[in-house]
Amino acid sequence: MELLTKMSHYMDRETPFYHYDLDLLSRTLDAMLSASSGYGFHVHYALKANSNREILERISAKGLGADCVSGNEITRAIETGFKKEDIAFAGVGKTDVEIKTGIENDIFSFNAESMQELEVINEIARAMGKKAPIALRINPNVNAKTHQYITTGLEENKFGINSWEFETVLEKLENLKNLELKGLHFHIGSQITDMSVFKGLCIRINEIQKWFVEHRIIAEHINVGGGLGVNYDHPDEKLIPDFDEFFKIFHDHLELYPNQELHFELGRALVAQCGNLITRVLYIKNGVNVDFAIVDAGMTELIRPALYESIHRIDKISVTENSVEKKYDVVGPICESSDCFAKSIILPELKRGDLLAIRSAGAYGEVMSSGYNLRSKVKTYYSER
Ligand SMILES: *Cc1c(COP(=O)(O)O)cnc(C)c1O
């Protein structure tokens, strides 16, 4: 198995740890760039998916912009080589300090999510004697058909400005002299695998743009956010997402006005498959219908299964002599019943000391790790090729 050879130097390290395949990261970035650059699209990397410095440095070196959701992410993006003028700043709850950080650094845009936020950004910019670039984050009321916790583009969600507020927002902007309306921003959710959702988004954006154009506003840029999903069930069948198909949908269906730029904010699709969480079996315990494989990683290292009921493929990476297969619940050591990585999965028979790889853990894995139960900070190792 390819993964096994790549991480063979680390097999006897203390577990659990994240292993990142930087060669796969690089190939994923190249595939994305070759698919987007032909259309002249601009891509920002969403730091919240993985803000590990090694990874950020690789991504900034390829020339991507950054998409940040906190002041600390802005600082980290600058430290790791992203250009200030390519940083978009999103988030429903930007604090005054974070807004100042953005203004001081002359970032690309504040993706503003509410009317009150517009007033606050204006006030802070005025006090600093500057103009802040704004993209209105619009809630397009489009269903991303993904898990409810990672759907963000429905009216019932907390994100964005709703269509019935547009008129009032434009009136308000007339008087907010320290804001410069530069763009319209949309981000409807994450782990979107039904490509027709993106086509639906394009059609909705065309309608919304029409409204703005009728009100004499042609934005310099449209930002359609991220959300492209990855294959968690069978990662080896599709280690690199289909970026050609993804960008073509926007090229074919989104109506841009002359000189209007199209921006994307991809997180998961760029980093999910390059990371695996490596863990060791501590104990095998016989249950009623299945056996429990109790491993040394838990929801403290990878919370996605507990938080979103998400699936991660699990591979045994220790060499097996016999080929008996058994059914297991793979569970962590944390004192919560939700601390379970997989239920009733078939694996080659496991014993204490065996190593498992929890696959596709490069996005929303390490970044969400915690010290609950006073756990140690999870370690990271890298392979170049
Ligand atoms: C999380 C987020 C993204 C990235 O989403 P992915 O599903 O990881 O591609 C992009 N834009 C905004 C505003 C976000 O909050």
> What is the average pLDDT across 232-240?
96
Helix (H/G/I), strand (E/B), else coil: 357: strand
Spatial distance between the Cα atoms of 46 and 87, rounded to a whole number of angstroms: 10
User: How close is the Cα of 159 to the center of ligand 1, in Å?
Assistant: 12
Query: Does residue 1 carry a pLDDT above 70?
Result: no
Domains present along the chain, CATH in parentheses: 23-271 (3.20.20.10), 273-383 (2.40.37.10)
90-119 mean pLDDT: 97
Structure tokens at 160: 């964005």
Residue 217's pLDDT is 95
Closest ligand 1 atom number to CA of residue 226: 9
> pLDDT for 265-314, tens place per residue?
999 999 999 999 999 999 999 988 899 999 999 999 999 999 989 999 99
117 lines ligand 1 (CB under 6 A): no
Q: Which of 83-87, 147-151, 290-294, 328-332 has the lowest mean pLDDT?
A: 147-151
Is 317 close to ligand 1, i.e. is its CB under 6 Å away? no
Q: Which atom, in ligand 1's list, is nearest to the CA of 90?
A: 13
Is 91 touching ligand 1 by the criterion CB < 6 Å? Answer: no
Token readout for 162 is 């709703």
- Identify the pLDDT of residue 153: 74
Name the least confident of 136-140, 151-155, 260-264, 306-310: 151-155
**pLDDT tens digits, one per residue of 292-301:** 999 999 999 9
Regarding the beta carbon of 267 and ligand 1, being less than 6 Å apart is answered yes
Taking a C-beta distance cutoff of 8 angstroms, is the pair 367, 50 a contact? Answer: yes
CB neighbours (10 Å) of residue 126? 15
pLDDT band for position 142 (cuts 50, 70, 90): confident
Q: Which of 36, 67, 201, 364 to mutate to test the pocket of ligand 1 (most atoms within 8 A of CB)?
A: 67
Verify whether ligand 1 is closer than 6 Å to residue 190 (CB atom): yes
What does R_g of the chain's alpha carbons equal in angstroms? 22
Q: What is the largest CA-CA distance in the chain?
A: 74
Q: Residue 280's closest CA among 332, 202, 326, 340?
A: 332
- Name the amino acid, one letter, at 169: V
Omega cis (within 30) before 140: no
Taking only the tens place, the pLDDT of each residue in 172-214 is 999 999 999 999 999 999 999 999 999 999 999 999 999 999 9
Instruction: Give nearest CA residue, ligand 1 atom 11.
Output: 225
Read off the tokens for 296. Answer: 């040394």
Query: Among 34-43, 97-106, 149-158, 362-371, which is the least confidently predicted range?
Result: 149-158
Distance of CA 328 to the CA centre of its chain: 30
Classify 111 as helix, strand or coil: strand
DSSP three-state, residue 348: strand
Q: Tell me the C-alpha distance between 13 and 19, whole Å.
A: 11
Q: With cut-offs at 50, 70 and 90, classify the pLDDT of residue 10.
A: confident
Instruction: For residue 151, give the DSSP letter.
Output: B
Q: Is 227 in the pocket of ligand 1 (CB under 6 A)?
A: yes
**How far does the centroid of ligand 1 lie from the alpha carbon of residue 220, in Å?**
21
Q: Which is nearest to 122 in space by CA: 138, 110, 140?
A: 110
- DSSP run (H or E) holding 18: strand 17-21
How remote is the CA of residue 215 from the centroid of ligand 1, in Å? 29
Which of 29, 48, 185 most suits a substitution to test ligand 1, by most atoms within 8 Å of the C-beta? 48
Rounded to 10 degrees, the C-alpha dihedral 30/32/37/43 comes to -110
**What b-and-e string marks burial along 261-279, b requiring 16 or more CB atoms within 10 Å of the CB?**
ebbbbbbbbbbbbbbbbbb
Cα separation, 260 vs 221, whole angstroms: 5
**What would the two tokens of residue 150 be?**
């990672």
